[in-house]
Amino acid sequence: MLKESKIALDCPYCKETIYQPLSWFEKDYSTCPTCGKGLAAGQFAAAVNEIKQAQDACVDDLFSVQSGSSCCGKKSSCG
């Protein structure tokens, strides 16, 4: 099992940075570790969606191979 990297988003109440895995921000309900106020997943939905789209784009870029190029990006074959 891969360890989930932590991301940083600010608490909408106290503005302190919360460092937690992405899945923590997707939970239905949690509390800010600094101010203790209740947080709902909807408060982070836009930021979480943006991060997921960026991650997907990175993965797509890693696995896409342009036609006519080799694994290293050159037009000649490896070897």
What is the pLDDT at residue 54?
86
Range of the domain at 20: 6-62
How many angstroms separate the CA atoms of 16 and 55, rounded? 24
Strands (DSSP E) found in the chain: 6-10, 17-21, 29-31, 38-40
Q: Which residues pair with 18 in a beta bridge?
A: 9
Residue 11 lies in a domain: yes
What is the pLDDT at residue 1?
44
Residue 53 lies in a domain: yes
Q: What is the pLDDT along the chain (79 residues), one digit of tens a residue?
A: 456 889 999 999 999 999 999 999 999 999 999 999 999 999 999 999 998 888 888 877 777 755 555 566 666 556 5
- Considering only CA atoms, which of 58, 53, 56, 43 is closest in space to residue 9? 43
Residue 35 lies in a domain: yes
pTM (two decimals)? 0.67
- Considering only CA atoms, which of 55, 62, 60 is closest in space to residue 22? 55
Residue 78 lies in a domain: no
Domain count, the chain: 1
